Structures are given as C-alpha cells and as structure tokens.
Amino acid sequence: RIAVSYDVACQYVKHFRKRFEAQFPDIKDHDRFEFLIPKMHLYAHKDNCHYRYSFNYTEGCGRTDGEAPERSWAALNELATSTREMNSAHCHEVLEDRVNNINFRK
C-alpha cells in the first residue's frame, strides 16, 4: 500500500485511476494507492472527508500528519532570490545542497 498525502486528495482521487492508466498503461496495481489529506488541511474539508481521508483512521500511518514536505519550505524559500537567475543545473545543485543539509541536521 502506498499512502499519498495531498491537500485536496478528495478531489484528486476522483479521476486518478483514469489518469494513472493513461500515463502508466503497463502498471496494473494502481489500487495500492491510498489518498489522505494532511491534518492541517483536513479541517477545511467536509465531515465525510474527515473519516475517509484522515491519517488518524488509516491503518499503518501511526501518528503521521502528512505535513512533512511543507516543513522544509521556509529553508528553501530563502534561496528564491539567489536561484532565480541561475540555469537549471546550478539551481538544482543549490537546492540539492540545501535539502541534504536539512536532512543532515535531522
């Protein structure tokens, strides 16, 4: 099973199967994906989303909140002005260095 955390998973999942089959026709186990809404975003959704897409009610997710990717944005956002004029290779290298540093400090 693969848990996918997305702010509007309840909307994205509606056409996921069709899009997945079109993009990856050779992969048949698309039913392994389980879509969940990060905890901070879940409260803006309707009540039926709270139970169907909540990390709290999903077996195997433990105390995951689904917000981990957003935690590094503050550290990456400060690079926006310095990477704006870089070519894609240099930009990639700078961002990769910062992400490696974030992971090292954990």
pLDDT at res. 84:
92
Cβ-based burial of 53 (10 A; exposed 0-12, middle 13-18, buried ≥19): buried
Q: Are residues 43 and 89 in the same domain?
A: no
The 3-state DSSP class for residue 3 equals strand
Q: Which domain holds residue 42?
A: 2-66
pTM: 0.70
* Residue 62: pLDDT over 80: no
How many residues are given for the chain?
A: 106
CA angle 86–87–93, rounded 5-degree value: 80
Q: Are residues 82 and 53 in the same domain?
A: no
Reported as a single tens digit per residue, the pLDDT across 4-36 is: 998 999 999 999 989 999 999 998 887 889 999
Q: Are residues 86 and 52 in the same domain?
A: no
Q: Are residues 58 and 35 in the same domain?
A: yes
In the chain, the number of structural domains is 2
Q: Are residues 21 and 50 in the same domain?
A: yes
